[in-house]
């Protein structure tokens, strides 16, 4: 899989820390959409889909969460996001589940595309069929 953790440059002094993130620099795409998840119950599972066109970078800017990524071919990786200067890059056509949110978690998501419901695959079996070329 081509998922990868990205460590963003940190600048700071006695006044506090600053993290700068720019599209096509630290992020491997132009950022067209930004959203965030907060107030998620620790037992909640978010995501549960793949995207045909969108790439993402997920950053827990507060608290922590886990992200499970599957490629539909039997490969799976789990990442713990718990530092506000680390992002997880997720290319298109990978299944993602976000879960195990801490009570104070704020998960920021940067996306390469504007929202389009038609590019989402929300059933894992359909995702496997599409990835593996089955009808």
Q: What is the pTM of this model?
A: 0.94
What is residue 44's predicted lDDT score, i.e. its pLDDT?
A: 95
Is pLDDT of 21 > 70? yes
Domains of the chain in start order, with CATH, are 4-132 (2.60.120.10)
Is pLDDT of 135 > 70? no
Tell me the per-residue pLDDT of 71-130, one tens digit each, with 9 for 90 and over. Answer: 999 999 999 999 999 999 999 999 999 999 999 999 999 999 999 999 999 999 999 999
Please say if 103 is a catalytic residue.
no
Of 49, 66, 83, 129, catalytic: 49
Is pLDDT of 29 > 70? yes
- Which residues fall within 8 angstroms of residue 96, CB to CB, at 6 or more apart? 47, 48, 49, 50, 56, 67, 68, 69, 70, 90
**5-13: which pairs have CB atoms within 8 A and are 24 or more residues apart?**
5/79, 5/86, 5/87, 5/88, 5/89, 6/57, 6/86, 6/87, 6/88, 6/89, 7/85, 7/86, 8/59, 8/85, 8/86, 8/87, 10/85
């Amino acid at each position: 899989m081509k998922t990868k953790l990205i460590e963003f440059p940190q600048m700071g002094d006695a006044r506090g820390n600053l993290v700068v993130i720019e599209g096509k620099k630290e992020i491997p795409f132009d950022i067209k959409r930004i959203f965030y998840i907060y107030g998620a119950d620790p037992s909640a599972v978010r995501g549960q889909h793949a995207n045909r066109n969108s790439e993402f970078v997920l950053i827990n800017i507060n608290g922590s969460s886990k992200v499970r990524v599957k490629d539909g071919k039997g490969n799976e990786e789990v990442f713990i996001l718990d530092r506000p200067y680390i992002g997880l890059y997720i290319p298109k056509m990978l299944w993602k589940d976000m879960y195990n949110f801490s009570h104070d978690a704020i998960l920021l998501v940067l996306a390469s595309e504007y929202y389009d419901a038609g590019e989402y695959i929300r059933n894992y079996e359909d995702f496997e069929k599409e990835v593996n070329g089955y009808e």
